[in-house]
Amino acid sequence: MAKPIYACLWFNGQAREAAEFYGSIFKDSKILADTPMVVTFEINGTKFMGLNGGPHFKFNEAVSFVVDCETQEEIDHYWNRLTEGGQESNCGWLKDKFGVSWQIVPTILAKLMSDPTRAARVTKAFMHMKKMDIEKLKEA
């Protein structure tokens, strides 16, 4: 049986702080193991390794984590918490205070984009948004 694949996130000495931060945001989260060099943690059933690797490498948008949200309340929660000390971007993207990129996406977006009569309007609407607004997307 194949072993699960999981991401290793390179931090500049902040792996434990990051694991605790994410654990405070996502309900089903826990720290699995903690050493000075490596913190293994789980978010919503997905395993991650945080490596205290130093300042050599930085996160960028080439890799991001997508959070599917059913409601505007969920979008608001994840957006507001993950941008604490971080940076908002366009189209539901943000960087948290560690520089990790996230996409906070309403699940209804795929349905709206699959309608050829609405796709262009929906795209135009979300291109002008930072945090996604479900009602405005539905109105497009």
Rounded mean pLDDT of the chain? 97
Q: Is there a common fold for 1-57 and 59-140?
A: yes
The confidence score (pLDDT) of residue 124 equals 96
Domain regions of the chain by residue span: 1-57, 59-140
Domain at 1-57, CATH from 3.30.365.10, 3.10.180.10, 3.40.50.10860, 3.60.10.10: 3.10.180.10
One DSSP character per residue, the chain reads -PPPP-EEEEESS-HHHHHHHHHHHSSSEEEEEE-SSEEEEEETTEEEEEEE--TT----TTSEEEEEESSHHHHHHHHHHHTTTSEE-STTEEE-TTS-EEEEEETHHHHHHT-TTTHHHHHHHHHT-SS--HHHHHH-
Each residue's pLDDT tens digit, 32-68? 999 999 999 999 999 999 999 999 999 999 999 999 9
pTM listed for this prediction:
0.94
65-87 residue pLDDT tens:
999 999 999 999 999 999 999 99
Fold classified for 59-140: 2,3-Dihydroxybiphenyl 1,2-Dioxygenase; domain 1 (3.10.180)
